[in-house]
Structure 1
């Protein structure tokens, strides 16, 4: 059909990478219907969604089929005959986050090991023997620091250190371009969904719903992308917190292992380290987070690290 030929020609002319996508679908559909799982290694989810949206792919019995295989081939030939002039003129302006392969984030063996150890470290908050072991071990390194600095200054140093490695871990383990691409794609889907609902286009709504289902895999990948640096941050930070628990004497039947003077907090004045100042939140936690948030902002500005996802 001439209509299918025109659709394919426009897709390929606007984005030369769509040629490979269409050729892949043509090849895989020769034996019958094609599913996303058959092509996900060769197509991005955005390209797959555009083929469905434009009607090049239509619903089949168990997957999708080409609406007009012959028209699709003719569209590819017509786009090739154009010499690529239209593609070169529009490729820079037609790139979209929907065509960026968001993929699935994979965790290495070390990531998984760190996750298991982190779960075990959480027991230290409620189990005193483990807290005492970790606290006394950490004190080998942090005890000398407390010998030369008052405890509030030690907490400031710890907040600076945790803020520094947290920022560096997030910057190096999170792909902001990939996350931004996913967010842009989901925004585009929502906008097209609203437009289809406004126009009472049930057929378009079905295609968009299918695309949303396919995007669920990307969503899981983005969750893993976000959580991966958090595992390492907690892996390094929980022992620091358990040392402060041990040193201050937080928890039932716990004794302080350092000499403590009252702390002076902004807007609150002089308080004891274990005194509740914000509901059940104790003064030492408030002091740590005030220092941590301040140092983290300074570190990000100094190193020019932007943690906002951006589409490429």
Structure 2
């Protein structure tokens, strides 16, 4: 309801004559109408704006008011309201978005292991330790198949972590609030309302704290994802260091190559193979389990 009421207020602020046009439509709130039925009360331009804003919605062969109660609220309320939210989900406060001690520990450990890509002692420590688990698998399967299996496992892990640690309903509220502010700011700029622009800009600055909360919410699953994927990468990196050239395989658009060869002059073939497998199987896992990984 709040979004419809705000749209009505914006339309009236843009065109004061829109108030009479919308009032005339309220007389037909329980009816399906076409423009020719009300063309004496509003212009075709006003009719089009109401449809564009979603105040009028399609109903069979005509149109009707999407939410008459919200339309009345928009006509009787202030011309430029503060944001009221477009969802029943409340915005999380800083405490809800903060990381736990375990999250911070996982982040620190992930960063330490990440240095193993450049600092050889860490790679030589992590590689043999992980080899205790993955060594037997590597003894049974060709190395490129092992890379594929690891890509499937890390892709599954990534999907599960994102589904459980990210609140997509709250992310949707964050995005809806920012979109609402941008829409009202654009409308105020078009009608040259400097006073409304100042109020909206202040509201936008206050919303920056919400943006920080969304960033923290988005980054939190990453540390747990890296906690598994970085050791796996370090093990593959360490293992390939023991192979002269690597196993031969066929990559899409590339053809025959070896895992230790580079593609386009800079990207190792084994990394390309890993990401191709990971992206493909991750989509299958998400579809198969119905895992949501984006805001609604």
1:256 aligned to which of 215, 239, 243: 243
Question: How is 1:166-245 mapped onto 2 (pairs within 5 angstroms)?
Answer: 166-245=158-237
Where 2:259 maps in the other structure, the secondary structure is coil
Distance 1:173 1:206 in 2: 37
Distance 1:164 1:309 in 2: 19
Where 1:307 maps in the other structure, the secondary structure is coil
Shift of 1:274: 1.3
Distance 2:173 2:248 in 1: 49
Distance 2:90 2:180 in 1: 13
Over residues 141-178 of structure 1, what are the superposed CA-to-partner deviations in whole Å (9 max), with x where a residue is unaligned?
A: 00000111111110111001000010000000000000
With normalisation by structure 2, the TM-score equals 0.70
| Residue 298 (structure 1) aligns with | 284
Over residues 30-89 of structure 1, what are the superposed CA-to-partner deviations in whole Å (9 max), with x where a residue is unaligned?
A: xxxxxxxxxxxxxxxx9xxx9xx99xxxxxxxxxxxxxxxxxxxxxxxxxxxxxxxxxx6
Aligned residue pair count = 223
Over residues 263-285 of structure 1, what are the superposed CA-to-partner deviations in whole Å (9 max), with x where a residue is unaligned?
A: 22122222121111133001100
Distance 1:305 1:228 in 2: 18
Q: Is the 8 A contact 1:152 1:263 kept in 2?
A: yes
Q: Is the 8 A contact 1:247 1:256 kept in 2?
A: yes
| Residue 130 (structure 1) aligns with | 122
1:115 aligned to which of 90, 93, 107: 107
Tell me, which stretches of 5 or more residues in structure 2 are unaligned?
Answer: 11-68, 74-83
Distance 1:247 1:219 in 2: 41
2:93 aligned to which of 103, 108, 117: 103
| Residue 71 (structure 1) aligns with | none
Shift of 1:96: 1.1
Over residues 165-210 of structure 1, what are the superposed CA-to-partner deviations in whole Å (9 max), with x where a residue is unaligned?
A: 1000000000000001110110000000000001111111011011
Distance 2:157 2:239 in 1: 23
Distance 2:112 2:198 in 1: 45
Shift of 1:295: 0.4
Q: Please, what is the CA RMSD of the aligned residues?
A: 2.8
Tell me, which stretches of 5 or more residues in structure 1 are unaligned?
Answer: 1-13, 16-45, 55-88, 250-254
